[in-house]
Chain A
């Protein structure tokens, strides 16, 4: 176990050392990609190991996480990404709509899109908090400083573009992460993730080649456009008295769809708060469209970054 402390101001170094980890303490906050690069180089991870799991400090993996990831490392596999779950909060935090929304979002995304993308070999993102890499491939993509605000977006795009290997999803490898608990942290984190995603699309010219990866990525982008502009378009058509538009039907369809998803998610994750928080989740779904537009503008204005430092959301026990 190797730990890099990116100029932590808490007891990270002391606690990690006491737990038996080899710790590299950095005195300057350099950002996650540079900190990882420094550790991987200093500890000679690539030369000494065939595989490496990269975890964030807010991640708790299941006891068999590594074993389950390794099972998925068949020939030609470059990266295995585990199943992300939102860590279960205690007490009143259980009714935090941001956490319920995120628990739902992880579940929904992973049982549908991520699993399908994995089967087709067209995954466009991995979980930076809980993924395992073949070190020989990581050596090909890791840089002292990634040009995108989300480092794993850069690695994913490089692996897909340069056909370095398959990226697969291992649902049996479970990891729990801390998600934002305040609206400000939630907005900032989503903005950063989406900004990084759009930077990846621009920087790696996703959609410009005739590959299955590009085709499926373009389909996903079309869905995003539909997601962001679908509801406002229906409302605008209704205001303009378009004969084929019925807001009542739209609302009914939306409520029924969301209700069905939330109910199944509650049962599958055994989190009743997901269905209890339905109205709040619907509101967050609207705000998320704003984040989408904000991130797209940000990516157009700043398609590359010189530094990947950011402040993490507040952690909870």
Chain B
């Protein structure tokens, strides 16, 4: 298995990394959250129908 070098370094803000890549990380987080919410809405809709 080989994997991202930045795996352990994408850390808590700010002193363990994440200042310069904040926009990229936030974009990723936003996409993750929206995918999560979409999945929740889908489940709710399915359970109602």
Q: A residues within 8 Å of B by Cβ?
A: 56, 58-59, 84, 101-102, 105-106, 108-109, 111-120, 122, 124-125, 127-129, 150-153, 171, 177-179, 190, 192-194, 196-198, 216, 219-220, 222-224, 226-227, 230-231, 234, 250, 253-254, 257-258, 260-261, 284-285, 288, 292
Contact, CB under 8 Å: B1 / A127: yes
Could you show 25 A-B contacts with beta carbons less than 8 Å apart?
A: A59-B1, A105-B8, A109-B6, A112-B28, A113-B6, A115-B32, A116-B31, A117-B24, A117-B28, A119-B27, A122-B24, A127-B3, A151-B2, A171-B32, A194-B5, A197-B6, A198-B5, A219-B24, A231-B16, A234-B15, A253-B14, A253-B15, A258-B12, A284-B8, A285-B16
A125 to B26, alpha carbons, bound, how many Å?
A: 19
Report the minimal beta-carbon distance from A119 to chain B, rounded to whole angstroms: 6
Also in contact, A227 and B25, with CB within 8 A (given A125-B5, A285-B11) = no
Name A's interface SS.
helix
Query: Could you tell me the distance between the alpha carbons of A226 and B12 in the complex, rounded to whole angstroms?
Result: 12
The reply on B44 being an interface residue by CB < 8 A is no
Cβ distance B16 to chain A, nearest Cβ, rounded Å? 5
A106 partner residues in chain B, CB cutoff 8 A: 3, 7
Partner of A120, one of B6, B9, B15, B24: B24
Contact A230 B15, beta carbon cutoff 8 Å:
yes
Given contacts A112-B28, A113-B28, A152-B2, contact A105 B7 (CB under 8 A): yes
Given A112-B25, A115-B32: A223 in contact with B3 (beta carbons within 8 A): no
Given known contacts A125-B4, A254-B15, A226 and B25 CB-to-CB distance under 8 angstroms? no
User: How far apart are the CA atoms of A124 and B12 in the complex, in Å?
Assistant: 21
* CB atoms of B28 and A128 under 8 A apart: no
CB A118 to nearest CB in B, in angstroms, measures 8
Tell me if A178 and B18 are in contact (CB < 8 A): no
**B contact residues, total (Cβ < 8 Å):** 31
Given contacts A115-B28, A116-B29, A219-B24, 19 further A-B contacts (CB under 8 A): A58-B1, A111-B28, A111-B32, A113-B28, A115-B29, A119-B27, A120-B27, A127-B2, A151-B2, A194-B5, A220-B20, A224-B17, A226-B20, A227-B17, A230-B17, A250-B15, A253-B15, A257-B12, A258-B11
Q: Would A111 and B29 count as touching, CB distance under 8 A?
A: yes
Q: How far is the CB of B4 from chain A (nearest CB, A)?
A: 4
Q: Contact at B32–A261, with CB atoms within 8 Å?
A: no
- Give the shortest distance, in Å, between B39 (CB) and chain A (any CB): 10
- A-B contacts at CB below 8 angstroms, number: 159
A residues near B11, Cβ cutoff 8 Å: 108, 227, 257-258, 261, 285
Q: How far is the CA of A151 from the CA of B32 in the complex (A)?
A: 28
Contacts of A285 in B (CB 8 A): 8, 11, 16
A230:B4 contact, CB within 8 angstroms? no
Chain B residues near A120 (CB-CB < 8 A): 24, 27
